[in-house]
Structure 1
Amino acid sequence: MNRMFVAVIPPESVSADLDEFLAVRRDAAAFRWSLADQLHLTLAFAEHVPERSLDDVIERLETAAGRRTPFGLTITGGGAFPDVTAGKVLYAGVEADPADELDRSATGARNALAKAGADVDGGRFRPHLTLARTGQPVELSNWVRLLDAYRGPSWTVSSFALVHSRLGEGPRKHPVHEVVAEFPFG
């Protein structure tokens, strides 16, 4: 069984810009911060992808990506899950142009995983990049206001990736993310 997700991975320059914005602020909170090289926008997540389904997953994701067209994306703003008054996850938001192409990419990725036999987790698609986890519920309003002042460089999304995630195997017990395959649009 494999723990996998389909994601849009920002270019290194985009991740570096956000990382620079957060760097001088991270010491203000004892959060578990995401590593800059692991920032991603999850389109679909499956806790258990059977090994026997992997070829089918790849084939279906290739088909799904082929139906998409490139779109613009910008990291901007932020929020907290489950809410800002008792947040456990701090995230950066995104703006897509056109917005419906991001939603269609997520729907296609979710359907591809499900049709290949993977149990797709999560409810409604809420596009975001996880920045930090708190462990305990924390008032995050000030952090969200800070993120509302951030607008990163825009880029064109022209693919998504299938990523294998191994929990706790990286430095300081961070997950290790390995790109299994990348799927170009169109």
Structure 2
Amino acid sequence: MRAFVALFPPADVVEHLGEFLAPRRAARGPQAGAIVPRWTRDEHLHLTLAFLPDLADRDLEELADRLAQAAAKRPLDLLRLAGGGAFPDPIDARVLWVGVQPESGHEQLARLAGSVRSAANSAGALVSGGAFTAHVTVARLARATRATRWLRVLQAYDGPDWQPEHLTLVRSHLGQGPHRTPRYEELGTFALGE
């Protein structure tokens, strides 16, 4: 199964970001043929700690136990979604994202992501992806494009503080949601710092 471990911001934080993105989601490119981003649905906004592209059912129980242990050892301070960026870079962007503040939050999140990835590996799950970058994906682009205009907009975002309380293991069913978006199935939640 395709799965990931993530932090989901609380409803008020998602609502704040959704309100900021609403006019951008409604906007079209200024030129004919401009690439229009495919915006992430509000209920799908999350901060991925580990992507597990082929998680076996047999590994679920051990993974859940290890994630519970990893989460319990890693409390997080207040976080805030702010600013933005693009992957792989602003000139050839395929993904637009909102970042995490304060900078100290990056270190805590990187340690948590390391613990989560280690837990997954120990449970026999393959972890995919490169170095961890704390972000929430807000849009994807159909093809690589210069995203400097979008980045100027995202850099202006500054959301409310929130306290992450748990991490979530999610199964992603590709194309089974509205408009062929993924459908997310929560497989477990694990309290942070307990």
CA RMSD, 1 decimal: 1.1
Please name the residue that 1:34 is paired with.
40
Does residue 97 of structure 2 align to residue 79 of structure 1? no
Deviations 1:69-103 (A, max 9, x none): 13211100111111111111111111144442211
Q: Provide structure 2 residue ranges, at least 5 long, that are not aligned to the other structure.
A: 29-35
SS at match of 1:84: coil
Identity of aligned residues (%): 42
Give me the whole-angstrom Cα distance separating, in 2, the residues matched to 1:86 and 1:10. 28
Taking a change above 3 Å as real, the CA distance of residues 98 and 28 of structure 1, as seen in their structure-2 partners, is closer
SS at match of 1:71: coil
> Which stretch of structure 1 is more off in the superposition, 25-34 or 171-180?
25-34
Please name the residue that 1:109 is paired with.
116
SS at match of 2:114: helix
Q: How does 1:163-182 map to 2 (within 5 A)?
A: 163-182=170-189
Corresponding pairs, count: 185
More strand by share: 1
| Preserved CA contact (<8 Å) 2:52 2:126 | yes
Q: 1:55 aligns with which of 61, 68, 74?
A: 61
Please name the residue that 2:150 is paired with.
143
Q: How does 1:10-49 map to 2 (within 5 A)?
A: 10-29=9-28, 30-49=36-55
Give me the whole-angstrom Cα distance separating, in 2, the residues matched to 1:141 and 1:45. 27
Q: 1:95 aligns with which of 82, 93, 101?
A: 101
Q: Which amino acid aligns with 1:50?
A: A
Give me the whole-angstrom Cα distance separating, in 1, the residues matched to 2:106 and 2:174. 31
Does residue 137 of structure 2 align to residue 130 of structure 1? yes
TM-score normalised to the size of structure 2? 0.92
| Preserved CA contact (<8 Å) 1:85 1:140 | yes
Q: Which amino acid aligns with 1:77?
A: G
Give me the whole-angstrom Cα distance separating, in 2, the residues matched to 1:98 and 1:158. 14
Shift of 1:59: 0.5
